[in-house]
Amino acid sequence: MYYWYREMRDRPGSDMGGFTRILHSGKPDGLMDEIPTLVVDPLPEGADRGYIVLNRPWAFVQWLKKSNIKEDYVLMAEPDHIFVRPLPNLAHGDEPAAFPFFYIKPTENEIILRKFFPEENGPVSKIDPIGNSPVIIKKAQLEKIAPTWMNISLKMKEDVETDKAFGWVLEMYAYAVASALHGVHYSLRKDFMIQPPWDAKSDNTFIIHYTYGCDYTLKGELTYGKIGEWRFDKRSYLRSPPPRNLTLPPPGVPESVATLVKMVNEATANIPGWDEER
Protein backbone atom coordinates (compact mmCIF):
# COMPACT_ATOMS: atom_id res chain seq x y z
CA MET A 1 0.00 0.00 0.00
CA TYR A 2 2.63 2.53 1.05
CA TYR A 3 4.67 1.96 -2.11
CA TRP A 4 1.71 2.78 -4.33
CA TYR A 5 0.73 5.74 -2.16
CA ARG A 6 4.16 7.23 -2.82
CA GLU A 7 3.89 6.44 -6.54
CA MET A 8 0.49 8.12 -6.90
CA ARG A 9 0.79 11.01 -4.43
CA ASP A 10 2.49 13.51 -6.74
CA ARG A 11 0.88 12.52 -10.02
CA PRO A 12 -1.60 14.83 -11.78
CA GLY A 13 -5.08 14.60 -10.31
CA SER A 14 -3.90 13.68 -6.83
CA ASP A 15 -5.01 15.47 -3.67
CA MET A 16 -3.16 13.00 -1.47
CA GLY A 17 -1.34 14.50 1.51
CA GLY A 18 0.60 12.96 4.37
CA PHE A 19 0.55 9.31 5.40
CA THR A 20 0.33 7.69 8.83
CA ARG A 21 0.22 4.01 9.65
CA ILE A 22 -1.65 3.61 12.94
CA LEU A 23 -0.20 0.65 14.83
CA HIS A 24 -2.40 -0.40 17.73
CA SER A 25 -0.12 -3.08 19.17
CA GLY A 26 1.23 -0.62 21.73
CA LYS A 27 4.83 -1.29 20.71
CA PRO A 28 7.09 -0.51 17.74
CA ASP A 29 7.72 -3.04 14.99
CA GLY A 30 10.22 -3.58 12.19
CA LEU A 31 8.56 -1.14 9.78
CA MET A 32 8.89 1.98 11.92
CA ASP A 33 11.83 3.38 9.93
CA GLU A 34 10.22 2.58 6.60
CA ILE A 35 6.64 3.82 6.99
CA PRO A 36 5.50 6.90 8.96
CA THR A 37 3.88 5.27 11.98
CA LEU A 38 2.12 6.25 15.18
CA VAL A 39 2.08 3.58 17.87
CA VAL A 40 -1.08 3.68 19.99
CA ASP A 41 -2.36 1.55 22.84
CA PRO A 42 -4.62 -1.43 22.28
CA LEU A 43 -7.78 -1.82 24.31
CA PRO A 44 -7.29 -3.29 27.79
CA GLU A 45 -6.54 -6.99 27.71
CA GLY A 46 -9.65 -9.02 26.92
CA ALA A 47 -11.76 -6.00 25.95
CA ASP A 48 -11.76 -6.90 22.26
CA ARG A 49 -13.13 -10.39 23.08
CA GLY A 50 -11.01 -11.92 20.35
CA TYR A 51 -12.28 -9.43 17.74
CA ILE A 52 -9.08 -7.51 17.03
CA VAL A 53 -10.82 -4.99 14.76
CA LEU A 54 -12.48 -3.58 17.88
CA ASN A 55 -9.16 -1.84 18.53
CA ARG A 56 -9.54 0.27 15.39
CA PRO A 57 -11.95 2.95 16.66
CA TRP A 58 -9.90 3.40 19.85
CA ALA A 59 -6.75 3.68 17.71
CA PHE A 60 -8.30 6.51 15.68
CA VAL A 61 -9.41 8.32 18.83
CA GLN A 62 -5.79 8.29 20.03
CA TRP A 63 -4.37 9.27 16.65
CA LEU A 64 -6.65 12.29 16.36
CA LYS A 65 -5.59 13.47 19.82
CA LYS A 66 -1.86 12.82 19.50
CA SER A 67 -1.09 13.79 15.90
CA ASN A 68 -0.57 17.18 14.35
CA ILE A 69 -2.60 16.61 11.19
CA LYS A 70 -2.07 19.45 8.73
CA GLU A 71 -4.69 18.39 6.22
CA ASP A 72 -8.37 19.32 6.57
CA TYR A 73 -9.52 15.96 5.19
CA VAL A 74 -8.58 12.41 6.13
CA LEU A 75 -8.60 9.24 4.03
CA MET A 76 -9.08 6.10 6.09
CA ALA A 77 -7.73 3.10 4.22
CA GLU A 78 -6.34 -0.35 4.99
CA PRO A 79 -3.11 -2.28 4.36
CA ASP A 80 -4.78 -4.45 1.71
CA HIS A 81 -5.62 -1.42 -0.44
CA ILE A 82 -3.57 -0.63 -3.54
CA PHE A 83 -3.91 2.75 -5.23
CA VAL A 84 -4.31 2.23 -8.97
CA ARG A 85 -4.88 5.91 -9.80
CA PRO A 86 -4.05 9.22 -8.13
CA LEU A 87 -6.79 9.87 -5.59
CA PRO A 88 -8.56 13.25 -5.65
CA ASN A 89 -10.59 14.53 -2.73
CA LEU A 90 -13.92 12.81 -3.38
CA ALA A 91 -15.56 14.60 -0.45
CA HIS A 92 -17.50 17.80 -1.04
CA GLY A 93 -17.50 20.21 1.87
CA ASP A 94 -19.35 18.56 4.75
CA GLU A 95 -20.40 15.59 2.61
CA PRO A 96 -17.74 12.89 2.99
CA ALA A 97 -17.23 10.10 0.48
CA ALA A 98 -17.43 6.37 1.19
CA PHE A 99 -17.62 3.05 -0.61
CA PRO A 100 -21.02 1.32 -0.29
CA PHE A 101 -20.78 -2.31 0.86
CA PHE A 102 -23.52 -4.64 -0.39
CA TYR A 103 -23.50 -6.60 2.88
CA ILE A 104 -24.14 -3.60 5.16
CA LYS A 105 -27.94 -3.53 5.24
CA PRO A 106 -29.33 -1.16 7.87
CA THR A 107 -32.99 -1.41 6.83
CA GLU A 108 -32.88 -5.21 7.06
CA ASN A 109 -31.47 -5.01 10.59
CA GLU A 110 -33.74 -2.34 12.03
CA ILE A 111 -34.72 -4.24 15.18
CA ILE A 112 -31.08 -4.67 16.21
CA LEU A 113 -29.99 -1.19 15.15
CA ARG A 114 -32.74 0.47 17.19
CA LYS A 115 -30.73 -0.50 20.27
CA PHE A 116 -28.10 2.00 19.14
CA PHE A 117 -30.07 4.32 16.86
CA PRO A 118 -33.32 5.16 18.69
CA GLU A 119 -36.47 6.11 16.81
CA GLU A 120 -36.14 9.77 17.76
CA ASN A 121 -33.11 9.87 15.46
CA GLY A 122 -35.28 9.05 12.47
CA PRO A 123 -35.55 6.09 10.10
CA VAL A 124 -32.68 3.61 9.95
CA SER A 125 -32.39 4.49 6.26
CA LYS A 126 -30.37 7.46 7.55
CA ILE A 127 -27.61 4.95 8.28
CA ASP A 128 -25.43 4.64 5.19
CA PRO A 129 -24.29 1.16 3.99
CA ILE A 130 -20.63 1.83 4.75
CA GLY A 131 -17.70 1.04 6.99
CA ASN A 132 -14.92 3.39 8.00
CA SER A 133 -12.75 2.43 5.05
CA PRO A 134 -12.36 3.63 2.43
CA VAL A 135 -13.69 6.97 3.57
CA ILE A 136 -12.63 10.56 2.89
CA ILE A 137 -13.97 12.88 5.57
CA LYS A 138 -13.26 16.23 7.18
CA LYS A 139 -10.92 15.87 10.12
CA ALA A 140 -13.30 17.95 12.24
CA GLN A 141 -16.16 15.54 11.48
CA LEU A 142 -14.04 12.49 12.27
CA GLU A 143 -13.00 14.01 15.60
CA LYS A 144 -16.69 14.04 16.59
CA ILE A 145 -17.55 10.62 15.17
CA ALA A 146 -14.56 8.63 16.44
CA PRO A 147 -15.42 8.51 20.18
CA THR A 148 -19.02 7.56 19.37
CA TRP A 149 -17.78 4.92 16.93
CA MET A 150 -15.59 3.46 19.67
CA ASN A 151 -18.35 3.40 22.29
CA ILE A 152 -20.94 1.89 19.97
CA SER A 153 -18.47 -0.77 18.81
CA LEU A 154 -17.90 -1.83 22.41
CA LYS A 155 -21.62 -1.84 23.18
CA MET A 156 -22.41 -3.87 20.06
CA LYS A 157 -19.78 -6.44 20.98
CA GLU A 158 -21.18 -6.71 24.50
CA ASP A 159 -24.69 -7.35 23.16
CA VAL A 160 -24.98 -11.05 22.34
CA GLU A 161 -27.72 -10.63 19.74
CA THR A 162 -25.88 -7.85 17.91
CA ASP A 163 -22.55 -9.65 18.03
CA LYS A 164 -24.10 -12.78 16.55
CA ALA A 165 -25.97 -10.87 13.83
CA PHE A 166 -23.11 -8.65 12.65
CA GLY A 167 -20.08 -10.88 13.24
CA TRP A 168 -16.91 -9.63 11.56
CA VAL A 169 -18.64 -6.51 10.15
CA LEU A 170 -19.80 -5.30 13.58
CA GLU A 171 -17.30 -2.44 13.71
CA MET A 172 -18.41 -1.33 10.24
CA TYR A 173 -22.01 -1.07 11.40
CA ALA A 174 -20.81 0.86 14.46
CA TYR A 175 -19.08 3.43 12.25
CA ALA A 176 -22.16 3.82 10.06
CA VAL A 177 -24.40 4.27 13.11
CA ALA A 178 -22.01 6.74 14.75
CA SER A 179 -21.95 8.82 11.58
CA ALA A 180 -25.75 8.90 11.39
CA LEU A 181 -26.02 9.89 15.05
CA HIS A 182 -23.86 12.91 14.26
CA GLY A 183 -25.96 13.77 11.21
CA VAL A 184 -23.16 12.91 8.79
CA HIS A 185 -24.23 11.38 5.49
CA TYR A 186 -21.97 10.18 2.73
CA SER A 187 -21.64 10.42 -1.01
CA LEU A 188 -21.63 6.73 -1.94
CA ARG A 189 -18.92 6.14 -4.52
CA LYS A 190 -18.88 2.72 -6.15
CA ASP A 191 -15.88 3.87 -8.17
CA PHE A 192 -13.89 4.38 -4.96
CA MET A 193 -12.78 0.74 -4.86
CA ILE A 194 -13.04 -2.65 -6.54
CA GLN A 195 -12.75 -6.10 -4.98
CA PRO A 196 -11.36 -8.85 -7.22
CA PRO A 197 -12.29 -11.43 -8.29
CA TRP A 198 -15.87 -10.14 -8.31
CA ASP A 199 -15.02 -6.85 -10.00
CA ALA A 200 -13.38 -7.61 -13.32
CA LYS A 201 -12.05 -4.20 -14.42
CA SER A 202 -9.73 -1.73 -12.70
CA ASP A 203 -9.87 1.08 -15.26
CA ASN A 204 -12.59 3.08 -13.48
CA THR A 205 -11.54 2.90 -9.85
CA PHE A 206 -9.00 4.34 -7.44
CA ILE A 207 -8.30 1.40 -5.12
CA ILE A 208 -8.00 -2.37 -5.44
CA HIS A 209 -9.02 -4.12 -2.23
CA TYR A 210 -7.57 -7.61 -2.18
CA THR A 211 -9.75 -9.00 0.58
CA TYR A 212 -11.10 -12.03 -1.29
CA GLY A 213 -9.07 -15.01 -2.39
CA CYS A 214 -8.56 -15.36 -6.14
CA ASP A 215 -8.56 -19.04 -7.12
CA TYR A 216 -8.57 -20.25 -10.73
CA THR A 217 -7.92 -23.30 -12.85
CA LEU A 218 -5.14 -23.05 -15.40
CA LYS A 219 -7.90 -22.48 -17.94
CA GLY A 220 -8.88 -19.27 -16.16
CA GLU A 221 -12.03 -20.65 -14.50
CA LEU A 222 -12.90 -19.27 -11.05
CA THR A 223 -12.96 -21.87 -8.26
CA TYR A 224 -13.96 -19.57 -5.40
CA GLY A 225 -14.10 -21.43 -2.09
CA LYS A 226 -11.79 -24.12 -3.43
CA ILE A 227 -8.02 -23.75 -3.71
CA GLY A 228 -7.23 -23.23 -7.36
CA GLU A 229 -4.38 -24.45 -9.53
CA TRP A 230 -3.41 -20.77 -9.56
CA ARG A 231 -4.20 -18.58 -6.58
CA PHE A 232 -3.54 -15.26 -4.93
CA ASP A 233 -4.87 -14.95 -1.40
CA LYS A 234 -3.44 -12.65 1.25
CA ARG A 235 -4.17 -15.36 3.84
CA SER A 236 -1.37 -17.42 2.31
CA TYR A 237 1.07 -14.85 3.68
CA LEU A 238 0.03 -14.41 7.30
CA ARG A 239 3.45 -15.44 8.64
CA SER A 240 5.67 -13.94 5.97
CA PRO A 241 5.28 -11.51 3.06
CA PRO A 242 4.67 -12.76 -0.47
CA PRO A 243 7.83 -13.53 -2.43
CA ARG A 244 8.99 -11.35 -5.24
CA ASN A 245 7.90 -12.15 -8.78
CA LEU A 246 4.63 -13.95 -8.10
CA THR A 247 3.41 -16.09 -10.99
CA LEU A 248 0.94 -14.18 -13.13
CA PRO A 249 -2.57 -15.60 -13.51
CA PRO A 250 -3.43 -17.80 -16.50
CA PRO A 251 -5.19 -16.46 -19.60
CA GLY A 252 -8.89 -15.78 -19.16
CA VAL A 253 -8.61 -14.41 -15.63
CA PRO A 254 -10.20 -10.95 -15.14
CA GLU A 255 -8.00 -7.95 -15.85
CA SER A 256 -8.41 -6.74 -12.25
CA VAL A 257 -6.77 -9.89 -10.88
CA ALA A 258 -3.87 -9.65 -13.32
CA THR A 259 -3.40 -5.96 -12.50
CA LEU A 260 -3.40 -6.71 -8.78
CA VAL A 261 -0.62 -9.30 -9.07
CA LYS A 262 1.42 -7.11 -11.42
CA MET A 263 1.20 -4.20 -8.98
CA VAL A 264 2.23 -6.42 -6.06
CA ASN A 265 5.19 -7.63 -8.12
CA GLU A 266 6.23 -4.11 -9.06
CA ALA A 267 6.09 -2.99 -5.44
CA THR A 268 8.06 -5.93 -4.06
CA ALA A 269 10.67 -5.57 -6.81
CA ASN A 270 11.30 -1.95 -5.84
CA ILE A 271 11.12 -2.06 -2.04
CA PRO A 272 14.69 -2.42 -0.73
CA GLY A 273 15.26 -5.40 1.51
CA TRP A 274 11.89 -6.96 0.75
CA ASP A 275 13.25 -10.47 1.26
CA GLU A 276 14.94 -9.55 4.52
CA GLU A 277 13.28 -10.32 7.83
CA ARG A 278 11.81 -7.21 9.45
Summarised one tens digit per residue, pLDDT across range 194-224 is 999 999 999 999 999 999 999 999 999 999 9
- Torsion angle (degrees, nearest 10) of CA 64, 65, 67, 70: 60
Q: Which DSSP helix (H) or strand (E) runs through 258? A: helix 255-270
Single out the residue of 84, 104, 96 nearest to residue 199, CA to CA. Answer: 84
The residues near 86 (Cβ < 8 Å, ≥ 6 apart) are: 8, 9, 11, 12, 13, 14, 16
Q: Domain spans of the chain?
A: 19-69+91-188, 192-270
The residues near 239 (Cβ < 8 Å, ≥ 6 apart) are: none
Summarised one tens digit per residue, pLDDT across range 108-122 is 999 999 999 999 999
Summarised one tens digit per residue, pLDDT across range 17-76 is 999 999 999 999 999 999 999 999 999 999 999 999 999 999 999 999 999 999 999 999
